Amino acid sequence: MAERPPVVVHPPSPTGGRRVTVDGEILGLAYGPGDLVEFLRRAGMDPDEVQLDDAELIDWRGGGPDVWSPAQ
C-alpha cells in the first residue's frame, strides 16, 4: 500500500483560501502558493527544495496549485 503524502492542501473554502495540514495537523489557511511555502517552511521543510507539483509530498484535493478560490 502506498504511503499518503504528509502535506494535504484541502479544497478551496467558500470564502477562498485552502486549509493546509501536515501529518494531520492544521497549519493554516493558504491564499496562494507563497502562503503554502511559508507554512511548509515553518513545519521544517526547506522552501528551496519544495516542489508544489510533487505528488509524493503534497496531496492536492479539489484542484491543483493553480486553484485558490472556489469555483464560480
Rounded CA-CA distance 51/11 in Å is: 19
Domain annotation covers residue 32: yes
Domain annotation covers residue 68: no
Domain annotation covers residue 72: no
Domain annotation covers residue 65: no
pTM: 0.89
Residue whose C-alpha cell reads 472556489 in the numeric block? 70
Domain annotation covers residue 16: yes
According to the model, what pLDDT value does residue 1 have? 47
Rounded CA-CA distance 65/23 in Å is: 19
Is the pLDDT assigned to residue 35 strictly greater than 90?
A: yes
Q: How confident is the model at residue 70 (pLDDT cuts 50, 70, 90)?
A: confident
Domain annotation covers residue 34: yes
**Domain range enclosing 12:** 7-60
Domain annotation covers residue 69: no
